[in-house]
Chain A
């Protein structure tokens, strides 16, 4: 038993750089494969709605907007970022992105809609 066992470490730290990262200014970046915001590629979607069925939080809605055209509505407030939809998607239309700073003051901005590309006008 000795008092002040951490003295050495503590004094050494005085002359070291702090371990803190100044977050909003410096960012450490997310590792590869981080499960952040989900992105949706409408051109790959076949409308099987497996993602809707497996989503534990009911955060995804796939709407049919035309012949073989689907739009996805994500509720980021509900999403728990488990990326089960990415696993469930048969056509890899859903992908996790490393984006994680998704806090919003306005609840409406938490609804993210991925519109399908504008259909080529039939007249052309």
Chain B
């Protein structure tokens, strides 16, 4: 009796799968008592696209473009991690110039991702002015990426054995000019984020996670670094050209959303430093080596410091044209565990910014569909065809027949 009285005023509200705070479908079920969060349940899986399975159906070269589409923001991170793994299996030595170009695009991607994050964070705390200005400035780096690679997102610069496009000296000038503007803007945003009262009030002390907890829950990237965990793949396991470049790993010990903001903004300044060095030091030479169509049997694990944290790819080849297995561990999967922890005893109003603070990318995270039978607890992994059949049946049971819908759509198109 007593217990039921305790929980009398507790109720559950769903945040997602469709919710203005979330940019991608994901479900957070929040138990609330007034404005206070009593517990959070996270359900992943709304964005599962079967990319890993689809990779097994395509050749190594085709997979570069498929893997790139795991994520719309850190597309270069995923494709780089994948090609690094494949190159390791095939034993290709990538030309140094190609490595420098990969580094350059990777850092430009980090710049655009962190600018995007700052805008989203502003929007989540109801500060749309910050969103509008940061996204306006982000256009500079987006245009630059379009100029260098041929597209604003999904740059398609990587190929197995090198890169697809060269950076001509004229581009160097454009890059430096864009970086100079962006650096000035970044300094302004650092000033705003660390001095504006209404921002600090919403960020500091929110979403606390201690150093021990961050390590225990396996946090990566800026989320971990803001809790004082000094970890960065670019320094610890240097890939591309990072071993030859000079940069600092930014850490902070605020342990809250404010700390994560500061880490991301200061990382931008480090990225500008790296980009300047790349433009100055880029060696001459070829940009790619010829890759064989058939990759010899073997397996490799590749790590990459994406803007959101450590991205891990595992590739296994059986000596054919197609990989036997590709496994993606996106940074959000490592960080999502911390969200539950961060939200303990916080307010409903902190929910959006705390989720946004790990810079989540849910479609990166949703990977595998595992099935556990309720009656006998048997585990099963769905095959491609079974998954399709299950989906068709699921929709039909809810009154949506795909065949009829397709016919209707067809008729609509006719008229």
Contact = CB atoms under 8 A, between A and B. Distances in A.
Q: Do chains A and B touch in the complex (CB under 8 A)?
A: yes
A105 B410 CA distance: 11
B245 interface: no
B191 interface: yes
A83 B150 contact: yes
A101 to B, nearest CB: 15
Nearest to B165: A33
B413 A31 contact: no
Nearest to A21: B139
B271 interface: no
Interface stretch (A1-9, A39-47, A60-68, A70-78): A1-9
B233 interface: no
A105 B143 CA distance: 29
A119 B288 CA distance: 40
Contacts of B136: 19
Contacts of B164: 87
B318 interface: no
> Of A1, A81, A106, which is in contact with the most chain B CB atoms at under 10 Å from its CB?
A1
Contacts of B61: 54, 56, 84
Nearest to B67: A56
Given A10-B129, A56-B66, A35 B156 contact: yes
Interface of B: 58-59, 61-66, 68-69, 129-130, 133, 136, 139, 143, 146-147, 150-151, 154, 156, 159, 164-165, 188, 191-192, 195-198, 200, 413
Contacts of B188: 9
Chain B interface mostly: helix
B146 A30 contact: yes
B62 A56 contact: yes
A113 to B, nearest CB: 19
A36 to B, nearest CB: 9
B197 A2 contact: yes
A107 B412 CA distance: 11
A1 B66 contact: no
Interface string A97-123: 000000001110000000000000000
Contacts of A106: 413
Contacts of A54: 59, 61-62
A87 B165 CA distance: 10
Contacts of B59: 53-54
Contacts of B69: 80
B58 A35 contact: no
